[in-house]
Chain A
Amino acid sequence: KQEVTQIPAALSVPEGENLVLNCSFTDSAIYNLQWFRQDPGKGLTSLLLIQSSQREQTSGRLNASLDKSSGRSTLYIAASQPGDSATYLCAALPPGNTPLVFGKGTRLSVIA
């Protein structure tokens, strides 16, 4: 059974700092891995999706990497801004017609 873990659970950084959020999964047999952002009380916004054949994806100041063999993914945020404050969730999609398996998220606070 796939399990997804995110460390740390919460993170507070000063504005402008580069930071890395970590995600690990127990079963390397995944179809893709997706990173989401969630603002308090809101739904999920997809940030990046990495297919199993890819190593990384970039969008603006965000870069996500995937290492299936070690069961790890990282989300790198460059030059953090207060507007980046949110909870970041990673989710693995196992093969077949299966649902996403989510981690519990990392709550990020960027202090001005």
Chain B
Amino acid sequence: GAVVSQHPSRVICKSGTSVKIECRSLDFQATTMFWYRQFPKKSLMLMATSNEGSKATYEQGVEKDKFLINHASLTLSTLTVTSAHPEDSSFYICSAISGGLYEQYFGPGTRLTVT
């Protein structure tokens, strides 16, 4: 099946710094990638939809200047959490689809802890 990787798997950063999370589709070209955030015992919350070569579409309530998304190629999307605060601590998951595929393939997630 399709494989999606994320890097890093865990990151701890200090408040006020920025953190970049990478999402890669390893064996297929992803026309669209999604970024989710999961709070403890909560649903996956869709943050933004990212299409290669165009600006990401953010969900209502998600700050686009705080969560910068770049989908530079058909196999790579990045999420940068800028000026991170402790309330940004969460589990961030990306997913990817290819044209014609309706199942999203998820990465393993990144645990962000802001101290």
Q: Do A and B bind each other?
A: no
Chain A interface residues (CB < 8 Å from chain B): none
Chain B interface residues (CB < 8 Å from chain A): none
